Amino acid sequence: MVSPTIQQRSEQLDAVFHALSDPTRREMLRSLSAGSRSIGELAAPFSMSFAGASKHVKALERAGLVHRTVEGRTHRCSLAPEPLASALDWLRFYERFWNDRLDALEQALRKPERGSSRKGERHE
C-alpha cells in the first residue's frame, strides 16, 4: 500500500509536469518570474480571452506553481517556484542515471579491441 504522503507527492509531481507540458503555461511562468501579473497581462501575448488564460492559470495553481490574489476586479498572479524543486529532484535522478550510462559507454569505446586484426590482414 502506498503511504498518503508518497501518494500526495506523486499527485503534486504529476500536476507540475502536466502544467509544464503546455508551452503557453511555460511562457506564463517565464513572465511571472519577472514579477506578478494580472490574468489579462498573462493573456495578452497569446491573444486569448480572460477565460482561456484563466484555465491555464488554474492548471498552474493546481500544481502549486502560481498564487492568485484578487484586488477588486483584478486577479493577480505570482510565481510560486517551490514545486519546481521536487520536479528538478526527480529529473536529477535520471540525469545521474544517463551520466553513469554514458560514462560507461565512453570507457568501453576507449578500450582497444582485443583480437581486432584478422588472420592474414596486414597493418601498415
Q: What is the pLDDT of residues 25-35, one digit of tens each?
A: 999 999 999 99
Within a domain: 101: no
**Domain limits for position 54:** 4-82
* Spatial distance between the Cα atoms of 43 and 91, rounded to a whole number of angstroms: 30
Is 80 exceeded by the pLDDT of residue 52? yes
Q: Is 6 exposed, middle or buried (0-12, 13-18, 19+ CB in 10 A)?
A: exposed
Within-domain flag for 69: yes
Residue 113 lies in a domain: no
Here the CATH number for the domain that contains residue 48 is: 1.10.10.10
- Containing 27, the helix (H) or strand (E) segment is helix 23-32
Residue 117 belongs to a domain: no
Domain assignment present for 106: no
pLDDT digits (tens, 9 = 90+) for 86-98: 888 888 887 777 7
Domain count for the chain: 1
